[in-house]
Chains A and B, each alone.
Chain A
Amino acid sequence: MKKALAFGLLAALTAVGARADSYPQRPITMVVPFAAGGPTDIVARIVADPMSKALGQQVVIENVTGAGGTTGITRAAQAAPDGYTIMMGHMGTHGAAPALFKGLKYDPATSFDPIGMAAGTPIVIVAKKAFPAPDLKSFVEAVKAGGASINQAHAGVGSVSHSTGVLFDSQIGAKPTLVVYRGTGPALNDLMAGQVDFMTDQIVNVATQITGGTIKAYAVATPERNPSLPDVPTTKEAGLPGYEVSAWNAVFAPKGLPEDVRKKLIDALDAALKDPTASKRIIELGGTVPKGNEAGPAALQKLVESEVARWTPVLRSAVESNP
């Protein structure tokens, strides 16, 4: 113990000499509004590692869960805008939340300084193995014709599979019966067993089941095919060009960062996304790394605004029409 103390004092003395005013001087907390181990947490941990290297201070993940992610984002939004608290937002917290949570204490478009997009996690339309339709076009026809006799699974109100699923229904004009699950896992289980007919979800959640042949995929909802599912056509190729949707993860900071801090964070995220291991891992997860005009704070701000505008009407009507 004495040794530790002596060492500590020594370290203290040397540190005092090296005092500087430049950011960052202590570890940075990145609030992840979902539980450890979920897709957002994974993206955050993948990005936090190279960001720590770029900033010279550790980026520590703090999982603050609750209310579809809005608990954690609310807390982070109210933190001091000093760059020591940042957050990993996603499609739900910064796109769908205003439609789903009436008393939301933040505005996705105005309460934050956007830092940049971290990863896109594209959506894929999957169905049970025995579903007769051979391609997306006939699948859409079958779902439309089947009406309430078709069962569509989703992972709970406000989940990615729910938002993207009701968007799909409203675009093709179908009204299937919604079967609700707690999380993707159990929904996937019943899809494999053929209890439900189809669902839409992030590629990372269903890729191994698709390649393993236990469920079938009709299309990925991105402009380009996904490297982890090279045989699955895009919605555009398969004849449903309007359905392009991706769950995304992006880094935000509380509004009002000092300019130099903001710039350092933007650069750190940029460096992190250029880190080969980080980008490789994101791609392995079926995700996409933002590049060119998708990256950076301005693009993110625009995305948030367009997402809020897109989800609000779809989700409001879906939640209200719910029996």
Chain B
Amino acid sequence: MPDLLSNLSLGFSVALSLQNVALCFLGCLVGTLIGVLPGVGPIATIAMLLPITFGLDPVGALIMLAGIYYGAQYGGSTTAILVNIPGEATSVVTTLDGHQMARQGRAGIALGTAAIASFFAGTVATVLIAALGAPLTKLALIFGPAEYFALMVMGLAFAVVLAHGSVLKAVAMIFVGVLFAAVGTDLETGQERMTFGFAFLTDGVDFSVLAMGLFGIAEILRNLDQTETRDVVRARIGRLLPGLADLKQATPATLRGTAIGAILGILPGNGAVLGPFAAYTIEKKLAKDPRRFGRGAIEGVAGPESANNAGAQTAFIPLLTLGIPPNAVMALMVGAMTIHGIVPGPGVMTKNPNLFWGMIASMWIGNLMLLIINLPLVGVWVRLLKVPYRLMFPAILMFCSVGIYSINSLPTDVMLIGFFGLMGYILIKFGFEPAPLLLGFVLGKLMEEYLRRSLTLSRGDLMVFLERPISAVLFIVAFAILAAALLPSLRKGRDEVFTEA
């Protein structure tokens, strides 16, 4: 404990220098402003802003970068709530209830709740990293391919619960999502799968492209169909920040979300991606009236948002202690650190204690900055909703195009958002929801890899999934979730399986 305190005080003495606080603030601010552009998710934001940190000293650069990361993530949630466009996999869940709240004139409350829940989760996760970072890495190494496969299956079971319509349609969408994930060059053999000879499909479909199409463009198309409701939404803008009653309702969800997100974030195999989904599922299962979910339930924002932020934070643990980047954003952070001459890994903590603890302290400062920056900004964002839709959607469309182009510099990516937009529109017209598809897409890719890897390592023995205790438990949980989702509707009149729940 005294160690922890002296380490943290070292960290804060580094992070609280005038220059570093300013850099942290600047990073958070710019990250938020870029990340809020529809079409620009955290990965694109960090890649874009990475070069501006080059001129700084390593500690300052990393502090600014961490600020950019939180800012981008929070900016992404803002876009998810305001215009229903998720910038990354984890904010898909935020669109479900967050955007519904915005449609009901409660955008400010949703944004405020997201900011406060994120801040709380960030604080807890920072303490967790500082206190338990090193011992927790052991947990990371217990998880082998079999456990990850089980984890992904569990994630797909969550996806069924996520949908608020017909269970059958949700399952179909998950299958379609996993099928889409298979497009592209096969990792193990290098063979092209379902690319039809198109060069731009050899690397498969990019998540942002799919998300921007299915959510961004399809949402525009859907809104164009319903002129009346859209303008009613604009007219009603309620209170700007959550009141005490709202916060009281959100608190238990925040606590649970933080715990779930923090634990999953430690897993180096991209466990953090599951955090928001798991939190949402749990909130929906615990709620007295699950029907509120998908229709603007505040727990549906607080839970996933806190899980998201906690996971985003604890994802630094495998990076800083094992040197393994658990996801694409962290891989970018490794690159950034390496450019500054620091290779993250077990040595960082002892070789560069200034940097290590300074960065941890700055995580908390960054979270605080976000709160300071974003609560006043809520008013600005909400006012954006007042802009007439006839001007709003061309602007969204252009930002999506510029954002997608800037990621890979490929015009074909821009064309694909048009294609997926059309597809998303047709899906909506037939009562399918895009969220399970996107989840299937994200988890499907990982799931197939882990499945094939587990079986390669077990030499084709399927029992490996049941012999290993953690994997067996995860499978049982997955089947329990599925049964819980399917049975009631099967019992209560079979119609619900096929039509709206």
Contact = CB atoms under 8 A, between A and B. Distances in A.
Interface string A151-179: 10000111000000000000000000111
A192 interface: yes
Contact of A42 (B188, B338, B408): B338
B188 A186 contact: no
A187 to B, nearest CB: 10
Interface of A: 35-38, 41-42, 45-46, 49, 61-67, 71, 100, 151, 156-158, 177-183, 185-186, 188-190, 192-193, 195-196, 204, 207-209, 211-214, 281, 284-285, 319, 322
A151 B333 CA distance: 30
Contact of B410 (A64, A100, A204, A319): A64
Contacts of B287: none
A46 B339 CA distance: 7
B453 A181 contact: yes
B32 to A, nearest CB: 20
Contacts of B347: 208, 211-212
Contact of A319 (B144, B145, B190): B190
B116 to A, nearest CB: 31
B410 A67 contact: no
Nearest to A74: B199
Given A45-B54, A188-B324, A36 B187 contact: no
A109 B90 CA distance: 44
Contact of B322 (A71, A189, A211, A284): A189
6 contacts: A62-B409, A66-B410, A157-B190, A179-B456, A189-B268, A209-B323
Contacts of B335: 36-38, 41-42
B345 A208 contact: yes
Contacts of A158: 190
Nearest to A186: B269
B141 interface: yes
A71 B449 CA distance: 24
Nearest 5 Cβ contacts at the A-B interface? A37-B335, A208-B345, A212-B346, A157-B190, A193-B141
B453 A180 contact: yes
Contact of A185 (B51, B189, B331, B452): B331
B177 interface: no
Binding site secondary structure of chain A: mixed
Contact of A67 (B185, B336, B341): B185
Nearest to B344: A208
B493 to A, nearest CB: 44
A178 B453 CA distance: 10
Given A37-B50, A208-B347, 4 more contacts: A35-B331, A46-B339, A285-B343, A322-B189
B203 interface: yes
B203 A209 contact: no
Contacts of B190: 100, 157-158, 319, 322
B409 A37 contact: no
Given A64-B408, A100-B190, A190-B144, A281 B341 contact: yes
Contacts of B325: 185
Given A71-B199, A208-B323, A212-B347, A37 B336 contact: yes
Nearest to A148: B459
Contacts of A189: 140-141, 268-269, 318, 322, 324
B52 interface: no
A284 to B, nearest CB: 5
B344 to A, nearest CB: 7
A212 B338 contact: no
Contact of B449 (A61, A182, A322): A182
A192 B343 contact: no
Contacts of B456: 151, 177-180
Contact of A182 (B187, B333, B345): B187
A103 to B, nearest CB: 8
A278 B15 CA distance: 27
Contacts of A180: 187-188, 449, 452-453, 456
A37 B343 contact: no
